[in-house]
């Protein structure tokens, strides 16, 4: 990344260039707004440092033109003729900072470094958003080898119509993968998700297979069950390990025969649906322990997709956060916050016991301003002076400017600043300003 330096004074240009080079910052030079815009169009700069007074147009015109091309490029304006009104106008137009000549090399390098850091964050967020957009169709976000393998398996298995077993911890995105398989399968029927852990045994058959009128008290008419309703589509059997043994044997027959009988009926009804089973537990271990039917396990264990926990694919966390922040911002009509290194460092170190579901909740809280960003505040405090320090420096500069314009006359300076003379003397003493140095 380089900085575009725009200055028509060769001495100032040389000094600024050398100061930035000594700080390890690459520069390009231009002496007018027109030349600078031509350079920026052919080789965009990461930040721009421009004098306000230039031969063709002023720095404010440059600022407006650059913001039309890329509103997130930091532009720092500098002038030897500056005043408070000019600084306020520069900030109002979107300048990143305003430097009043003469300034020290350290001050210049510090401002440019912070501008480059901000630009780096913008470019990284754009990169993440581009990756999110590229993967948005499947909803399977991630660039780690584990997620690349998940996407490969989804693409390979979706058109085959084979039943699939998904294995992963709570919150790893099993339903998202199931929907991706359904969407890529070419099946035109509905996607029906059934939480096996939430189905009471007393209504299992009625919910899954349907019932005939009169099958039980209150059954006044025929009801189509979920499996029959999913005709031509896909059924997700989520948390299948929670099914009691008595229900497992009924499900096994359906998986093998693709036939159901409505509760209270004798007619066999053929169903046309694809089954995807999802489990957070190890079905093989449960089967060996006698807690899950062997035959049902081996019927399901044909095509399997393992979903890794988030702690095992930490490199996907920035991409997932960017994706979830965008979705949350759309939902709540807010602007997604910028992912700073401090924020990412905090979440990269987290173990994510709730996996992607937990991360999605964090993104919602960040978008709503409910998630404290302690690390960001600490990083900001370390990177920039405190508010009190900045206000003191601002006041000191105002006092020095007034004394300079009044040639060291404290009474005139007090009138100009609309301050009592005693108050001005107190401030001069606190800031260690000697009025005599401003006298001719």
Q: Position of tokens 């407006």? A: 64
What are residue 69's phi and psi, to 5 degrees?
-80, -45
**235, 250, 372 from 244: Cα distances, Å:** 19, 10, 43
Tell me if 2-129 shares its fold with 145-308: yes
Q: What is the pLDDT of residues 339-375, one digit of tens each?
A: 777 777 788 888 999 999 999 999 999 888 887 544 4
User: Does 304 have pLDDT greater than 90?
Assistant: yes
Please list the helix, strand and coil fractions of the chain in percent, rounded to the nearest 5, in that order: 55, 15, 30
Q: Residue 153: what pLDDT?
A: 93
Fold of 313-373: Helicase, Ruva Protein; domain 3 (1.10.8)
Q: Which CATH superfamily does the domain covering 145-308 fall into?
A: P-loop containing nucleotide triphosphate hydrolases (3.40.50.300)
Mean pLDDT rounded to a whole number for the chain: 86
User: Does 271 have pLDDT greater than 90?
Assistant: yes
Highest averaged pLDDT of the listed ranges 109-118, 214-223, 286-295: 286-295
Q: Residue 359: what pLDDT?
A: 93
Burial class (CB within 10 angstroms; exposed 0-12, middle 13-18, buried 19+) of 184? middle
**Mean pLDDT for the stretch of residues 128-145:** 67
pTM, two decimal places: 0.60
Q: What is the pLDDT of residues 375-392, one digit of tens each?
A: 444 444 444 455 566 677
**Mean pLDDT for the stretch of residues 90-106:** 84
Q: Residue 348: what pLDDT?
A: 84
User: Does 88 have pLDDT greater than 90?
Assistant: no
Q: What is the pLDDT of residues 141-178, one digit of tens each?
A: 888 889 989 989 999 999 998 999 999 999 999 999 99
- Given a contact cutoff of 8 angstroms between Cβ atoms, the answer to whether 243 and 229 are in contact is no
- Given a contact cutoff of 8 angstroms between Cβ atoms, the answer to whether 280 and 237 are in contact is no
**Mean pLDDT for the stretch of residues 187-210:** 91
% of the chain residues with pLDDT over 70: 91
Distance CA 341, CA 161 (A): 44
Q: What is the pLDDT of residues 318-343, one digit of tens each?
A: 888 888 888 888 888 888 887 777 77
Q: Residue 78: what pLDDT?
A: 87
Q: Residue 403: what pLDDT?
A: 85
Q: 86 or 258: which carries more pLDDT confidence?
A: 258
% of the chain residues with pLDDT over 90: 43
User: Does 411 have pLDDT greater than 60?
Assistant: yes
Q: Residue 374: what pLDDT?
A: 43
Q: Residue 208: what pLDDT?
A: 94
Q: What 3-state class would DSSP assign to 19?
A: helix
User: Does 395 have pLDDT greater than 50?
Assistant: yes
User: Does 58 have pLDDT greater than 50?
Assistant: yes
H-helix or E-strand containing 255?
helix 245-257
User: Does 132 have pLDDT greater than 80?
Assistant: no
CATH architecture assigned to 2-129: 3-Layer(aba) Sandwich (3.40)
Q: What angle do CA 350, 354, 355 make, to 5 degrees?
A: 70
Q: Where are the domains of the chain?
A: 2-129, 145-308, 313-373, 387-438
Q: What is the pLDDT of residues 206-258, one digit of tens each?
A: 999 999 998 888 888 999 999 999 999 999 999 999 999 999 999 999 999 99
Q: Residue 382: what pLDDT?
A: 46
Q: Residue 409: what pLDDT?
A: 87
Q: Residue 376: what pLDDT?
A: 45
pLDDT class for 397, splitting at 50, 70, 90? confident
Least trusted range by pLDDT, from 72-76, 163-167, 411-415: 411-415
Range list of β-strands (E), 74-180: 75-79, 97-100, 164-167
pLDDT class for 17, splitting at 50, 70, 90? very high
Distance CA 382, CA 374 (A): 12
Q: Residue 380: what pLDDT?
A: 46
Q: Which long-range contacts (CB under 8 A, 24 or more apart) does 54-60 make?
A: 54/6, 54/8, 55/8, 55/31, 56/32, 57/32, 57/33, 58/33, 59/6, 59/33, 59/90, 60/89, 60/90, 60/93
Least trusted range by pLDDT, from 29-38, 149-158, 428-437: 428-437
User: Does 106 have pLDDT greater than 80?
Assistant: yes
Burial class (CB within 10 angstroms; exposed 0-12, middle 13-18, buried 19+) of 55? exposed
User: Does 288 have pLDDT greater than 50?
Assistant: yes
């Amino acid at each position: 990344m380089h900085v575009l330096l725009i200055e028509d004074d060769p001495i100032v240009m040389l000094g600024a260039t050398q100061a930035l080079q000594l700080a390890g910052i690459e520069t390009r030079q231009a002496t007018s707004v027109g030349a600078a815009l031509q350079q920026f169009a052919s080789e965009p700069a990461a930040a721009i440092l421009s004098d306000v007074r230039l031969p063709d147009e002023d720095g404010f015109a440059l600022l407006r033109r650059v913001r039309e091309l890329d509103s997130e490029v930091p532009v720092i304006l500098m002038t030897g003729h500056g005043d408070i009104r000019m600084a306020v106008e520069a900030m109002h137009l979107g300048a990143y900072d305003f430097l009043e000549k003469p300034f020290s090399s350290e001050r210049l390098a510090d401002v440019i470094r912070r501008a480059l850091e901000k630009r780096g964050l913008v470019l990284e967020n754009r990169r993440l958003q581009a990756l999110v957009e590229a993967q948005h169709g499947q909803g399977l976000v991630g660039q780690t080898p584990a997620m690349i393998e998940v996407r490969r398996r989804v693409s390979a298995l979706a058109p085959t119509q084979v039943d699939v077993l998904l294995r992963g911890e709570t919150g790893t995105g099993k339903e998202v993968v199931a929907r991706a398989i359904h969407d890529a399968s070419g099946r035109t029927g509905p996607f029906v998700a059934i939480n096996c852990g939430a189905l009471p045994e007393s209504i299992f058959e009625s919910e899954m297979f349907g019932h005939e009128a009169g099958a039980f008290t209150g059954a006044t008419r025929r009801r189509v069950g979920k499996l029959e309703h999913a005709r031509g589509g896909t059924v997700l059997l989520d948390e299948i390990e929670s099914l009691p043994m008595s229900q497992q044997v009924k499900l096994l027959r359906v998986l093998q025969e693709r036939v159901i009988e409505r509760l209270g009926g004798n007619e066999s009804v053929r169903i046309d649906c694809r089954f995807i089973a999802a489990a957070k537990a190890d079905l093989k271990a449960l089967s060996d322990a006698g807690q899950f039917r062997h035959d049902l396990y081996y019927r399901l264990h044909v095509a399997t997709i393992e979903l890794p926990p988030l702690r095992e694919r930490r490199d996907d966390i920035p991409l997932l956060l960017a994706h979830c922040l965008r979705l949350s911002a759309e939902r709540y009509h807010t602007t997604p916050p910028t992912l700073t290194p401090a924020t990412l460092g905090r979440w990269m170190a987290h173990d994510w016991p709730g996996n992607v579901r937990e991360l999605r909740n964090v993104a919602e809280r960040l978008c709503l301003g409910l998630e404290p960003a302690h690390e960001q505040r600490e990083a900001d405090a370390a990177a920039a002076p405190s508010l009190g320090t900045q206000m003191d420096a601002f006041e000191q500069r105002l006092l020095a400017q007034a004394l300079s314009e009044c040639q060291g006359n404290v009474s005139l300076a007090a009138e100009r600043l609309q301050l009592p003379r005693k108050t001005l003397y107190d401030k001069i003493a606190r800031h260690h300003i000697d009025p005599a140095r401003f006298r001719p």
